[in-house]
A and B are shown apart, each in its own frame.
Chain A
């Protein structure tokens, strides 16, 4: 059974650019949640995808968007990057929406730096 993987590990972009981050779910999981962890803070919920549809969204602007594919892998896209978007982006996979957090399995994250 493979765990949650994310790519790339690190990424450097400049302000105004666009970025795509990728997440492969743990085998058998059909739900992916994305979180942003800024330096010195805890992870903040961005959105969740269940069966290729957005299933809930946190307090993030529309320039944060996502996709989930038929194999349940997922992408997080951020347009018009701002300096404050610099953070660790975590994805978590779960089964049936992960109604209880102990069923959410996190990947190692992608460290995004915006210059």
Chain B
């Protein structure tokens, strides 16, 4: 039962433009959301997170937006750089829990 879904397996974007990655979840009890980035032959690394009490969190070029009513979050990368080419995973947590529920990932390719 996939509770976190990333419906776009891949995304291609030109360098300098905006990348928008989408994630939907089904369980309204999730209250903390994270984005991880994964390069080949490496483990996922934490990118940015957001608590359910917020609707936006920004860290440099990365911004995560949360729409609780729609059970939807998105990651914006502006501007996109070649080093951003990777697989991006959306993940969710229940309150005070540690078991990450991941989506299937979106492969981002930034074209020069």
Contact = CB atoms under 8 A, between A and B. Distances in A.
A99 interface: yes
Q: Name the interface size band of chain A.
A: 20 to 34
B82 interface: no
Nearest to B40: A108
Given A101-B49, A101-B93, A45 B101 contact: yes
A62 interface: no
Interface of B: 4, 6, 9, 32, 34, 36, 41-46, 49, 89, 91, 93, 96-105
A42 B46 contact: no
Contact of A109 (B43, B89, B93): B43
Given A42-B105, A109-B43, A56 B98 contact: yes
Of A4, A43, A92, chain B has the most CB atoms within 10 Å of the CB of A43
A100 B104 contact: no
> Would you list the 3 A-B pairs with minimal beta carbon distance, nearest first?
A106-B43, A42-B102, A45-B99
Contacts of A35: 100, 102
Contacts of B91: 42, 101
Interface string A34-49: 0100001111110010
Given A42-B89, A100-B32, 16 more contacts: A31-B98, A35-B100, A40-B9, A41-B104, A43-B100, A44-B102, A45-B101, A48-B98, A56-B98, A90-B43, A92-B43, A99-B96, A101-B46, A104-B98, A106-B43, A106-B44
Chain B CB within 10 Å — which of A42, A44, A100, A102 has the most? Answer: A42
Contacts of A104: 46, 98, 100
A45 B100 contact: yes
